[in-house]
Chain A
Amino acid sequence: SYVVTQPPSVSVAPGQTAKITCGGDNIGHKNVNWYQQKPGQAPVVVVFEDRDRPSGIPERFLGSNSGNTATLTITRVEAGDEADYFCQVWDAATNRVLFGGGTKMTVL
């Protein structure tokens, strides 16, 4: 069955750029969505359909998707960006939604 893989953690200094990856076989052919979840809160979508942002999400959040890797790039990282990030796809072979295991982003 299809599997999406994320690194467990990434660390980044304030003002720098963070890259969070989501790997899967030919994931470039799927729509990838990204969610931010802060402690004790529900997830919030930050990127949908690979690269689109909902209203209210800063332009610092950028999505890309090609080949076997989708990437969420966060530029000019702020302390308030510290959170867990999850990628999500639809697996047509099994007719279900799949989430990556999540990446904990720490702002140093």
Chain B
Amino acid sequence: QVHLVQSGAEVKKPGASVKVSCKVSGDTLRRLSIHWVRQAPGKGLEWMGGFNPEDDETIYAPKFQGRVTMTEDTPTDTAYMELSGLKPDDTAVYYCSVAEVVRGVISTVWFDPWGQGTLVTVSS
């Protein structure tokens, strides 16, 4: 059974960058598609991007394009999400999750399991 463990809470100043890690156990990262979703305090879920096995590339939500980078370190089975140019409204819990894609078709995508979440606070 796949399990995801994320890095701890971060406090950053506006303009800084943050890099959140997501350690996979129970399977190898090479076999999985990891996606990232964030949730501002008291708000809903917002997809940021992830690996698309249909095109074999990482895709990003337009809102974050140019500001987010998602990478993987397969020897350590750890995925990373780095967000730059932080603003106070980037304050949120950031989740990694495994994307389930049926027969490699991205339109079937759903997410299970999820990491425990990482709170990123952006404040001067």
Contacts and interface: CB of A to CB of B under 8 A. Distances in A.
Interface in B49-106: 59, 61-62, 95, 100, 102, 106
Chain B at the A interface: mostly helix, strand, loop or mixed?
A: strand
Which are the 4 A-B pairs with shortest beta-carbon distances?
A97-B47, A33-B110, A42-B114, A99-B45
Interface hub of A44, A48, A49, A54 (most chain B Cβ within 10 A): A48
A49 B107 contact: no
Interface hub of B37, B59, B115 (most chain A Cβ within 10 A): B37
Contacts of A94: 62
Interface string A72-105: 0000000000000010101010111111111000
B10 interface: no
Contacts of B116: 42
18 contacts: A31-B107, A31-B108, A37-B45, A42-B95, A42-B113, A43-B114, A44-B114, A48-B112, A49-B110, A86-B45, A90-B109, A96-B61, A96-B62, A97-B109, A99-B37, A99-B46, A100-B44, A102-B44
Interface string A50-79: 000010000000000000000000000000
Interface string A7-33: 000000000000000000000001101
Contact of B107 (A86, A90, A100): A90
Nearest to B109: A90
Interface of A: 30-31, 33, 35, 37, 42-45, 48-49, 54, 86, 88, 90, 92, 94-102
Contacts of B62: 94, 96
Given A43-B114, A44-B114, A49 B108 contact: yes
